[in-house]
Structure 1
Amino acid sequence: MPAFNTLDDLSADSRVLARLDLNSPIEDGTPQDNRRFERHAETVRELAEAGHRVVLLAHQGRPGRDDFTSLGGHAEILADRVGRDVGFVADTYGDEALEAIDALDAGEILLLENTRMCDDELPEASPEEKAETEFVRTLAPLFDAYVNDAYSAAHRKHASLVGFPLVLPAYAGRVMETEYEANTAIATREFDGPVTMVVGGTKATDVIGVMDALDDRVDRFLLGGVAGELFLRAAGHPVGRDVGEMDLFDEQWERNRELIESVLDERGDAIRLASDLAYEGPDGERAEVPVDDIGEKETGYLDVGATTVADYEPAIRESDAVFVKGALGVFEDERFADGTVGILDAIAETNCFSVVGGGDTSRAIEMYGLSEADFSHVSIAGGAYIRALTGEPLPAVETLEAAAERRRD
């Protein structure tokens, strides 16, 4: 069990400052609804229905990037999800924000402006330094409690994540609570049968680190995506390298070659590699080729093949737990979704503990008509999920735990 306090421990009729992660794709200047709004709405609704005065902090993008924008549109989407009005003020801790906070009645909800528009927010620094910023010192006295529901940003040392828990009683929201419990299960739970991890995606550096860290907790790894090709390259196949204008493989190979070769050498019996790969044929249709028939890589491979999926399915069906990090192919293109969807289907049909991690992979569940209810947990976290799997500390979780410890003392 986590060592932090949750909403179950929150005193009634509180003025609550809650940190969410509503970071979303921006299209034509408009935020797109996604799973994060739905999940965080549960926490916000519970706080409002309990009669708390609820003020929300969130971020969107980073300064200088195209998706760095105001949160006005986010407030509208969140209101639809919560089923209550969500006020918005284009200010974070200036006079306009302070007046809007002061005017709140019990059960009302207010979203403040993008925290990353504050100079105090972004630079990584210790919680003690962040607690001394003007941002934290101005807002904190207006509240009785701080709630962190932003598990997907918990690996950051930003003011809104680690500063407030040092100066306010601090609690985990429902997203923080459920994400933490599911994503640390691989390290904290005992499973009766085999534990399998599906490894894919484009960020091979991340998942190779996970494989190395979990070698004593995972019985077998099923590989696809960029990481899968790099392991095939280490096994002597002429893949896992850039062709044309591609820029995915060579740099990651140079950075991780020694670790890949070491993991393959030490855990080769536990690592399953693709036996065939899919690519775009001359007619634009999906085509597949056995890995053993590839003499030279001349095109990009966009998915694992049907034989690989058939090879991987029995390993999943006999597992007691399955953890997914990364897609096996470019599932956004329906032609190359077979690997990712085939594996997710097998997991959904198996009576096992299952966690699908990372925002990109979890989107395949919605895109291809799968049900979230068929998985134990579908994570909305990316970097924090990686850190949880590898046992690295999450600063925002640590500050919640420290706040709980102070209260017990």
Structure 2
Amino acid sequence: MTFQTLDDLDDGQRVLVRLDLNSPVEDGTVQDNRRFDRHAETISELVDRGFEVAVLAHQGRPGRDDFVSLAQHADILADHIGHDVDFVDETYGPQAIHDIADLDGGDVLVLENTRMCDDELPEEDPEVKSQTEFVQTLKGEFDAYINDAYSAAHRSHASLVGFPLVMDAYAGRVMETEYEANTAIAEKEFDGQVTMVVGGTKATDVIDVMTHLDETVDDFLLGGIAGELFLRAAGYPVGYDIDDANLYDEQWEQNSEKIESMLEDHRDQITLAVDLAYEDDGDRAEQAVDDIEEKSVSYLDVGSETVMEYSPIIRDSEAVFVKGALGMFEDERFSVGTAGVLEAIADTDCFSVIGGGDTSRAIEMYGMEENEFGHVSIAGGAYIRALTGAELVGVEALQR
């Protein structure tokens, strides 16, 4: 590892900690989620070690309904760490500076939404961000900066890349564990079979991941919208839009040559669905892809036979990585693919990383435990970038 961690930091200092607490907001109410639980481990450790802690985080984007204050986030974080958490409705104004100066060992203070500061956005070079008023004002108030926001590490925002250039900088526990797990597929050596379950809605992401990892992964198991587009490339009459959803045709136009080339060059590494599921009079119905003459329904999941084919491959693997869901698992009728492969992974003694946006939610929804997997990532975009070998600017700043 090429950055400093909390193990390198002396106890009892005043630290500025960047978390990623960005959460769904429903009717103005911030929803609790896995991110609070993960970051609570870092904050609890800092509290126990007598640090004076000020927290930076963002929520939403300007102009969107979820662009709200972090006041509710402070309360939710307090519940997770079982410790008082204060809040100030400024990020680096006079009241914020006053409250930071009043911190004692074990205190936690959440500063206001970083994206309410003009200096936070847009994305600019770290050198530019390090010279903003936001960074220059806060840097002298702390002994060290800690970045725990791996899931936002692909963003070149002031709170993520500016501070490491002007302060002693360290990785928090979430940053440390996410980095290790999500780079394992490229950096770790496995003696046995490496399998990747690839789904989701974005074909470009799938292609980029598969292209980057084609020499590392032995078998790609496909599903979701991307999987249906690969079936189209294989000659099946699926992967077309049949309504106004515009999920397939535009992506096909943009990616068809790459998909066809990938299928031609790596057919022995790519396992496609053998059946697909759809809604029929409110129930789940399944159809073998060989029996499809024309696409007339929306396919919402891979079928049961596909899960039966994928599961033995998973159980024979030394390492399994998941990127994206195989179907619309939020609807229990169409959870068979996603939940089925997750259950196969949970039953297998293998190194596993589960990621890809909301996919990890299926673990809790369908009665599985996180400890049945090697690592359950809370990162979306950063996870994809790690899988494609792209640099994460927030990690690079820590390494510098």
Contact 2:43 2:81 (8 Å CA) reproduced: yes
**Paired letter, 1:212:** T
Q: CA deviation at 1:65?
A: 1.0
Which of 381, 384, 387 is the matching residue for 2:385?
A: 387
Could you say which residue in structure 1 is the equivalent of 2:331? 333
Amino acid aligned to 1:336: F
1:359, distance to aligned residue in structure 2 (A): 3.2
What residue in structure 1 maps to residue 187 of structure 2? 188
Q: Calculate the TM-score normalised by the size of structure 2.
A: 0.99
Query: Aligned partners of 1:65 and 1:258: how far apart in 2?
Result: 36
1:370 maps to 368
CA distance in 2, matches of 1:204, 1:371: 29
1:25-64 alignment runs, 5 A limit? 25-64=24-63
Q: Is the 8 A contact 2:324 2:357 kept in 1?
A: no
Gapped regions of structure 1 (runs ≥ 5): 403-409
Matches of 1:205 and 1:107, distance apart in 2: 45
The amino acid of 2:50's aligned partner reads: G
CA contact (8 A) 2:119 2:129 kept: yes
- Given that 2:200 and 2:223 are in contact with CA atoms closer than 8 Å, whether structure 1 keeps it comes out as yes
Please tell me the residue identity of whatever aligns with 2:290. D
Runs of 5+ in structure 2 lacking a partner? none
SS of match in other structure, 1:107: coil
Deviation for aligned residue 1:325? 0.2
Partner in structure 1 of residue 279 of structure 2? 280
Contact 2:85 2:108 in 1 (8 A): yes
Counterpart of 1:262? Answer: 261
Relative to structure 2, which stretch is displaced further, 51-60 or 289-298?
Answer: 289-298
In 2, Cα distance between equivalents of 1:56 and 1:137: 17
Q: Deviations over 1:189-248 (max 9, x none)?
A: 111111000000112211211011100000010000011000001011111111112221
What does residue 308 of structure 1 align with? 306
- What pairs with 1:246-257 in structure 2 (closer than 5 Å)? 246-257=245-256
Partner residue of 1:342 out of 340, 343, 364: 340
Offset at residue 158 of structure 1 (A): 0.3
Which amino acid letter does the alignment assign opposite residue 252 of structure 2?
W
Give 1:378's aligned amino acid: V
Structure 1 vs Structure 2 CA RMSD: 0.7
CA distance in 2, matches of 1:7, 1:118: 28
Question: In structure 2, what residue type is equivalent to 1:401?
Answer: Q
Match of 1:91 in 2: 90
Equivalent-residue separation in structure 2 for 1:127 and 1:101 (angstroms): 25
CA displacement at 1:12 relative to structure 2 = 2.1
For residue 261 of structure 1, report the CA deviation from its aligned partner.
Answer: 0.8
Checking the alignment, whether the CA contact within 8 Å between 2:86 and 2:110 is kept in structure 1 is yes
Which AA in structure 1 matches 2:232? R
Are the equivalent residues in 1 in contact too, given 2:357–2:381 (CA < 8 A)? no
Alignment TM-score, normalising by the size of structure 1: 0.97
In the other structure, the counterpart of 1:80 is: 79
User: Offset at 1:13?
Assistant: 1.6
Aligned to 1:355: 353
Map 1:114-153 onto structure 2 (within 5 A).
Answer: 114-153=113-152
Structure 2 equivalent of residue 405 of structure 1: none
Equivalent in the alignment of 1:407: none
- Report the residue type matching 2:327 in the other structure: G
8 A contact 2:60–2:66 mirrored in 1: yes
Secondary structure in structure 1 of the residue aligned to 2:385: helix
Residue 343 (structure 1) shift: 0.4
SS in 1 for 2:138: helix
Runs of 4+ in 1 over 4 A off after TM superposition: none
The aligned residue for residue 157 of structure 1 is: 156
Aligned-pair CA distance for 1:108: 0.1
C-alpha distance in 2 between matches for 1:8 and 1:198:
34
The residue matched to 1:142 in structure 2 has which SS? coil
Amino acid at match of 2:353: V
What SS class does the counterpart of residue 39 from structure 2 fall into?
helix
Corresponding pairs, count: 400
Q: Distance in 1 between matches of 2:99 and 2:110?
A: 10
C-alpha offsets along residues 26-71 of structure 1, whole Å, 9 cap, x if unaligned? 0111111110000000001111111110000000110111111111
Mapped partners of 2:154, 2:260: distance in 1: 29
| Identical positions, percent | 70
> How far off is 1:386 after superposition?
0.7
